[in-house]
């Protein structure tokens, strides 16, 4: 058998995994949730959950990948045949997410193209975004372009593609985020936004706060979809696993925090302190922010920089999605990297087209008022991910036992400082919370509650 590829250094691993974690979720969802659910209180709750719950699940997934040297399906199956189904469910998540995530990636490239060619004013028009996404060929064209970028990098492999690109893109992303955040803070009226973001406002805190922080954490750290298992399978034994996870957490949470500083003050300055201008999702990024940029003196440049950084964030996440799918097919069928990459590209193009057309010619397809893209998002994020995470915890906590993976963490230098916490969280705390997350996200998807 051919030797499995690996990341050449700890830095390469940490940046690639951070590239997966830092994505659209950090930029268009985190700031909104933080502002809505209690400001400083939300930030504190999120931080506590990240260093306990997030740390535990990420450590477990990476250790599972490194121990078995396999992607999700094989990793579960090789340790207990009865749990192969968890690997299969986990693998379904990136297969569903990758196509529609790339459709959105295409929108990002389109907006970059518009801004860089001086189209700020156009992009700020009221119907510009809806006109664009309801088209037939244009959004599909940009989707293909985004997919091409991703596929070429994955085709180049773990060291020469993913690691190399992450080492260039991730530091640039940090610098660009800081530039925009600093500029945003200088705008008139920005401080009101900063206060709204950072000051605790307890009246907005409830049980829903914790659940939404938890759900966000999950998605943001790319957990429960086999990604960290796959990346772990490319991690060398002499790379310290525990400290790598800490660094990825700092990266991911740091960028989410900065994204808030980048977006909230600017939106407040633009809206004259009207909180309702701040919304989540595509509306924020493609409708509100272009208007905000249009109102700035340096809007053309700031907008262009913004879409470059969002492109890097989305691309590095898409790479991790595609690599995970490719490695599943390679492990399962013994395919070459090239063959598997071509197959995954064609499959994902085919699945992404309906997601794109769902806003135009296929807009008659809807369920609970959700478009095709939103339905894919709902099934993968709100239903499959909590189920996969729940069974992962049960599998590790009660079948193979926490110690099996703790030993893997210790393989580098014999230490695992947070072993006690990891054991308690994976056996008891996480499974209970995951059942609650699943119930609440299904209830909100079906319209019973709003998150």
Nearest to 197 by CA among 46, 43, 368: 43
Q: How far is the CB of 20 from ligand PHE (least distance, A)?
A: 5
Nearer to ligand PHE by C-beta: 13 or 219?
219
Q: How far is the CB of 195 from ligand PHE (least distance, A)?
A: 26
Backbone phi and psi for residue 89, each to the nearest 5 degrees, phi listed first: -65, -40
Contact 138, 132 (CB under 8 A): yes
Residue number of the CB closest to ligand PHE reads 23
Q: How far is the CB of 366 from ligand PHE (least distance, A)?
A: 23
Query: Residue-wise over 81-116: b if at least 16 C-beta within 10 A, else e?
Result: eebbebbbbbbbbbbbbbbbbbbbbbbbbbbbebbe
Q: How far is the CB of 23 from ligand PHE (least distance, A)?
A: 2
Q: How far is the CB of 252 from ligand PHE (least distance, A)?
A: 7
Q: How far is the CB of 410 from ligand PHE (least distance, A)?
A: 27
Nearer to ligand PHE by C-beta: 210 or 385?
385
Per CB under 6 A, residues contacting ligand PHE are: 20-21, 23-26, 97, 219-220, 222, 225, 227, 317, 320-321
Q: How far is the CB of 237 from ligand PHE (least distance, A)?
A: 26
Nearest to 87 by CA among 388, 378, 382: 388
257 φ/ψ sector (left φ>0, alpha ψ -120 to 50, else beta): alpha
For tokens 């998807």, the residue is 445
Question: DSSP assignment, residue 240?
Answer: -
| Beta-carbon contacts of residue 257 (< 8 Å; ≥ 6 apart) | 30, 43
Nearer to ligand PHE by C-beta: 27 or 120?
27
In whole angstroms, what is the distance from residue 107 CA to residue 138 CA?
A: 10
Nearer to ligand PHE by C-beta: 21 or 425?
21
Nearer to ligand PHE by C-beta: 58 or 269?
58
In whole angstroms, what is the distance from residue 66 CA to residue 61 CA?
A: 9
Provide the H-helix boundaries in 368-429.
Answer: 372-377, 385-394, 402-410, 419-424
217 φ/ψ sector (left φ>0, alpha ψ -120 to 50, else beta): alpha
Q: How far is the CB of 388 from ligand PHE (least distance, A)?
A: 12
Nearer to ligand PHE by C-beta: 174 or 227?
227
Nearer to ligand PHE by C-beta: 103 or 124?
103
In whole angstroms, what is the distance from residue 324 CA to residue 72 CA?
A: 9
Nearer to ligand PHE by C-beta: 65 or 360?
65
């Amino acid at each position: 058998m051919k030797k499995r590829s690996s990341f050449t250094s700890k830095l390469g691993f940490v940046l690639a995994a951070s590239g997966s974690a830092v994505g659209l979720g950090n930029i268009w969802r985190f700031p909104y949730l933080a502002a809505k659910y209690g400001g400083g209180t939300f930030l504190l709750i999120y931080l506590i959950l990240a260093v306990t719950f997030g740390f535990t699940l990420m450590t477990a997934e990476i250790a599972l990948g490194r121990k078995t040297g396999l992607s999700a399906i094989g990793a579960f199956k090789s340790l207990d045949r009865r749990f192969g189904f968890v690997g299969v469910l986990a693998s379904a998540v990136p297969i569903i997410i990758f196509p529609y995530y790339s459709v959105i990636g295409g929108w990002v490239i389109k907006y970059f193209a518009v801004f860089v060619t001086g189209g700020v004013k156009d992009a700020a028009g009221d119907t510009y975004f809806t006109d664009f996404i309801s088209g037939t060929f244009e959004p599909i064209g940009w989707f293909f372009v985004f997919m091409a970028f991703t596929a070429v990098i994955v085709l180049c492999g773990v060291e020469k593609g993913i690691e190399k690109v992450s080492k260039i893109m991730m530091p640039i992303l940090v610098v660009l985020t800081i530039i925009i955040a600093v500029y945003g803070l200088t705008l008139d009226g920005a401080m009101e936004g900063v206060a709204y973001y950072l000051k605790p406002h307890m009246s907005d805190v409830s049980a829903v706060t914790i659940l939404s922080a938890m759900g966000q954490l999950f998605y943001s750290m790319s957990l429960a979809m086999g990604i960290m298992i796959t990346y772990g399978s490319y991690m060398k034994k002499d790379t310290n696993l525990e400290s790598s996870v800490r660094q990825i957490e700092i990266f991911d949470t740091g960028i989410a925090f900065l994204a808030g500083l980048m977006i909230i003050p600017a939106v407040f300055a633009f809206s004259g302190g009207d909180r309702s201008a701040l919304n989540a999702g595509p509306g924020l990024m493609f409708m509100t922010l272009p208007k905000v940029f249009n109102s700035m003196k340096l809007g053309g440049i700031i907008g262009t920089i913004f879409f470059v950084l969002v492109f890097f964030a989305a691309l590095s996440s898409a790479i991790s999605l595609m690599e995970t799918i490719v490695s599943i097919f390679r492990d399962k069928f013994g395919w070459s990297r090239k063959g598997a990459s071509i197959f995954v590209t064609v499959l994902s193009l085919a699945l992404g087209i309906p997601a794109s057309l769902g806003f135009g010619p296929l807009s008659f397809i809807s369920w609970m008022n959700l478009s095709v893209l939103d339905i894919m998002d709902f099934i993968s994020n709100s239903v499959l991910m909590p189920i996969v995470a729940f069974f992962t915890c049960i599998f590790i906590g009660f079948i193979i036992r926490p110690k099996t993976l703790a030993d893997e963490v210790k393989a580098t230098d014999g230490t695992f400082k947070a072993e006690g916490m990891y054991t308690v969280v994976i056996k008891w705390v996480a499974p209970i919370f995951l059942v609650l997350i699943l119930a609440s996200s299904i209830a909100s998807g079906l319209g019973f509650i709003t998150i």
